[in-house]
Amino acid sequence: MPVSFKDVLLAGTLYWNSEFTGDLDELPDDIDDSDKYVQIPDKKELALGKPLVLDFARQFLPDNVGDVQEIFSKRGAYARFKDLLQRRGALDRWYAFEANAEERALRTWCDHNSIEVGD
pLDDT in tens, the chain (119 residues): 577 788 777 776 666 666 665 555 677 788 788 777 778 888 888 888 899 999 999 999 999 999 999 999 999 999 999 999 999 999 999 999 999 999 999 999 988 888 888 77
Per DSSP, the residues of 42-101 read: -TTTTT-SHHHHHHHHHHH-GGGHHHHHHHTTSTTHHHHHHHHHHHHT-HHHHHHHHHHH
Q: What is the reported pLDDT for 5?
A: 81
pLDDT value of residue 119: 73
Give the count of beta carbons closer than 10 Å to the beta carbon of residue 23: 10
From the number of C-beta atoms within 10 Å of its C-beta (0-12, 13-18, 19+), residue 81 rates as buried
pLDDT at position 57 is: 97
Per-residue model confidence (pLDDT) at position 79: 95
- The burial class, CB within 10 Å (0-12 / 13-18 / 19+), for 60 is middle
Look up the pTM and report it.
Answer: 0.74
